[in-house]
Amino acid sequence: MLTTAPPLWMHSGIPPRLCAPVAALMLASAVAAETTSSAQTEAQIARGEYVARASGCMSCHKEDLSGGYQVETPMGTIVASNISPSRDYGIGDYSRDDLARVLRRGVAPDRRLYPAMPYASFRGMRDADIDALYAWLQDQNPVDEAPEHETDLPFPFNIRTGVMVWNWLFLGSRDLPAVGDDPVSQRGAYLVDHLGHCGECHTPRNDFFAMQDDLYLAGEEMDGWLAPNLTPDPVTGIGEWTQQNIVDYLRTGHADNIVQAAGPMADFVQHSTSHLDDDDLAAIAAYLKTIPAIAAGSQDIPIIPPVEERGMPTHRFGEIRTEMAAALSRDDLSTPEQLFLSHCAACHGMSGQGQPQAFYPSLDQNAALRRADPGNLLQVLLHGVPAGKLYRAPAMPGFADELSHEQIAMLANYTRATFGGRQDSMLTAADVTHVLEQEEEMPPLLRVLQMAAWVGLAGIIAVAGLILWWLARRRRFKRQEG
């Protein structure tokens, strides 16, 4: 038998003539509440994407969150995992608290993470940002496949429970620079120290891969690239950078036509800082200018010249063609000049002025040529720079397969001495080979730990063997007595 609900007036006490308006009002309220909830969810998801960008998630885990970026560490290669909402291969089964434990303690539901995942920095993330990040991650399309490679470290580092010791030793409170009451600097500190985790690359690490806070942001070598000194030291750091230089660099990967991002930093600009709003970039710049200056490294001239000494880049139409024609007509070019003419001048000009309008950088006063450490310059000469990494920047070819190591060293020496403000440059083919073939060397303490683990394992096997021998011998004697 079919029944219908009684009219509203029968159980509410509302007069019949008012029931329809009240019902309409109740329906409108319900729709409004649902609309408000939906808008709040959308706003939180949008906020979560911004948090993901500020945290550099896509730099390691790719735009589709499928993972695969390989981090070279002294213990071996660690591969970024799939963090899409795939239930089989990603984090589709994670709760919000699961994500919080990963970010703050490096503990996933099924395993412990290695500190190459920057949970030592992310542990300072605010609850609201974790809430938003979780909402955004779970709203993305799942990628139902594992990364092509997987983390495979040698014994004993492949035993993830050993990370508990690392966490006990190094995951406590950190000794970071004090931040005053200025809200801009406070926001900058949060972005640099926690979301952006800048110290993970730019702060030197000890033999156990922990950041040395007494050398906070003083520069470190990671993945074969120099992550430079970010403190306001005028020679070895960014003391001569203006705050606008810092903002421009983080926004586009270029600053004043004399600094360009490359390697892992270009990835970070592409996937992270180029997406931040102007206020946050300004906050980062303001904070970096307030931290203690540390003179670190062997730099002998400022990375970039003071503002008053910087030349204005000029480029006249047809100038590079005229310069190259004049150079080609000469018969007294040195070998380095010939190399530069053949491989560099078409884009950068014989006088190194570049083509600013086309984003071919000037070589004159260029930071990559002024550095005492030539590693990043040699990386670029060897491997080039892919197109699309930086704002409007064209590709630069690498010469690893075209030039000999001696020729690349010769080219680096010529550009450093001619355009980089260095009195001389004495790089050799061996320096180029070192950059091309270098591998992360395991620190002595870790090597001793590894040897001790093998000795301990051998001892356990020996003791187990003795116990088994003793038990077998005892069983044999009992059979003989029986």
Short-list 174, 156, 154, CA closest to 165: 156
Residue 1 has pLDDT above 50, yes or no: no
pLDDT in tens, 322-364: 888 888 888 888 999 999 999 999 889 898 888 877 788 889 9
Span 161-187, mean pLDDT? 88
Is 1.10.760.10 the CATH number for 307-437? yes
- Tell me the CA distances in angstroms from 38 to 33, 41, 140, 376, 439, one per residue in order: 9, 5, 17, 48, 51
Residue 480 has pLDDT above 80, yes or no: no
Residue 12 has pLDDT above 70, yes or no: no
- pLDDT reported for residue 450: 66
Calpha distance 109→466 (Å, rounded): 38
Cβ atoms of 168 and 104 within 8 Å: the answer is no
Q: How confident is the model at residue 320 (pLDDT cuts 50, 70, 90)?
A: confident
Q: What percent of the chain has pLDDT over 70?
A: 88
- pLDDT reported for residue 353: 86
Span 28-41, mean pLDDT? 62
Span 280-285, mean pLDDT? 97
Residue 227 has pLDDT above 90, yes or no: yes
Span 3-23, mean pLDDT? 58
Q: How confident is the model at residue 30 (pLDDT cuts 50, 70, 90)?
A: low
Q: How confident is the model at residue 481 (pLDDT cuts 50, 70, 90)?
A: low
How many CB atoms lie under 10 A from the CB of residue 119?
Answer: 22
Span 399-404, mean pLDDT? 93
Helices assigned H by DSSP within 55-162: 57-61, 96-105, 119-122, 127-138
Calpha distance 325→328 (Å, rounded): 5
Mean pLDDT across the chain, nearest whole number?
87
Domain boundaries, the chain: 39-173, 180-296, 307-437, 448-482
Domain 180-296, what architecture?
Orthogonal Bundle (1.10)
Calpha distance 360→482 (Å, rounded): 92
Which residues, at least 6 apart from 128, have a Cβ–Cβ distance to it below 8 Å?
none
Would you say the CATH fold of 307-437 matches that of 180-296?
Answer: yes
| Of 393 and 88, more confident | 88
Q: How confident is the model at residue 438 (pLDDT cuts 50, 70, 90)?
A: confident
Residue 16 has pLDDT above 80, yes or no: no
Span 119-132, mean pLDDT? 96
Residue 13 has pLDDT above 80, yes or no: no
Calpha distance 367→369 (Å, rounded): 5
Q: How many CA atoms lie within 13 A of 123 on its CB side?
A: 16
- pLDDT reported for residue 5: 55
Mean pLDDT check: name the lowest of 16-20, 235-239, 257-261: 16-20
- pLDDT reported for residue 327: 84
| Of 413 and 395, more confident | 413
* 3-state secondary structure (DSSP) of residue 420: coil
| Of 357 and 281, more confident | 281
pLDDT in tens, 203-215: 999 988 899 999 9
Cβ atoms of 327 and 341 within 8 Å: the answer is yes
